[in-house]
Amino acid sequence: VSAPVPRLPAAAHAGKARAEIGAVERPLIIACGSLVPHHGYGTLLDAARVWRELDPAPLLVIVGEGRERSALQRRIRNEALPVRLLGDRDDRAELLAAADLTVLCSSWEARSVQAQEALRLGVPLVATAVGGVPELVGDAAELVPYGNAEALARAVARLLGDRPRREEMTAAGLAQAASWPTEDDTIAQVLSVYDELSQPMAAARVR
């Protein structure tokens, strides 16, 4: 089932969100999801170490909570990484819409809610080519191998320096999202399959 369409905030709201987290005059990268191993945040921090060399250095914000928080925060502090852990937030869609890029680094995803939200909001996405992600996003995202911090860092740096490509990805993302089935479509498909399966069973009972 597709994620609901988040409300796209006005430019003023996006600016307020960026100001709140300290990304007014620097690129903003956002990742969303619980702080657990399969979301690949260790690889993401490895990539953030490379982004420190960019000018201006982007700020990576991670929205979510979980058992890896202490370990991740320790790395951020010890390595002076340009990363903030925001914990769980009610304004996740607003933060995501304010970003220049969003990243998805999981070892496995079926129909990633973050990927769906990003494309529906027109936010360029860099994601790992795992599970159902390639089919879900089509040509609307930059895909990288799971666990490859160098490929991730390179893809993000390239996109941050290429506004026309990001604008192309925004248009492609909106078009890809428009092609997804709605919740009503999915329910209708499930009911259709159920009807097809139940008819032979009913006929067998009659005999």
- Which DSSP string do the residues of 18-34 spell out, in sequence order? HHHTT-SSS-EEEEES-
Give the contacts of 150 (CB within 8 A, at least 6 positions apart).
47, 50
Instruction: Report residue 198's pLDDT band, with 50, 70 and 90 as the boundaries.
Output: low
**What pLDDT was estimated at residue 6?**
46
Higher pLDDT, 23 or 46: 46
- Is the pLDDT at 196 greater than 80? The verdict is no
**What pLDDT was estimated at residue 20?**
87
The amino acid occupying position 8 is L
Instruction: Report residue 206's pLDDT band, with 50, 70 and 90 as the boundaries.
Output: low
Across the range 76-104, mean pLDDT stands at 95
Whether 124 and 168 have beta carbons less than 8 Å apart is answered as no
Q: What are the two backbone dihedrals, phi and then psi, of residue 85, each rounded to the nearest 5 degrees?
A: -100, 115
- Is the pLDDT at 187 greater than 90? The verdict is no
Strand, coil or helix: 48? helix
* Residue 112 vs residues 83, 136, 143, 154, 199: alpha-carbon distances, Å: 22, 8, 14, 23, 34
**What pLDDT was estimated at residue 184?**
54
- Is the pLDDT at 89 greater than 80? The verdict is yes
Across the range 106-113, mean pLDDT stands at 93
- Is the pLDDT at 203 greater than 80? The verdict is no
- Is the pLDDT at 5 greater than 50? The verdict is no
In the structure encoding, which two tokens stand for residue 98, read together? Answer: 């304010």
Nearest residue to 56 (alpha-carbon basis) of 33, 27, 98, 85: 27
Per the prediction, the chain carries an average pLDDT of 87
**What pLDDT was estimated at residue 73?**
98
- Is the pLDDT at 1 greater than 90? The verdict is no
The percent of residues in the chain predicted with pLDDT above 90, rounded, is 71
Compute the CA torsion angle 167, 17, 82, 113 (nearest 10 deg): -60
Taken in order of first residue, the domains within the chain and their CATH numbers are 11-180 (3.40.50.2000)
Across the range 134-141, mean pLDDT stands at 96
Q: Full-prediction pTM beyond 0.85?
A: no
Across the range 76-84, mean pLDDT stands at 97
Give the contacts of 120 (CB within 8 A, at least 6 positions apart).
3, 5, 6, 173, 174, 177
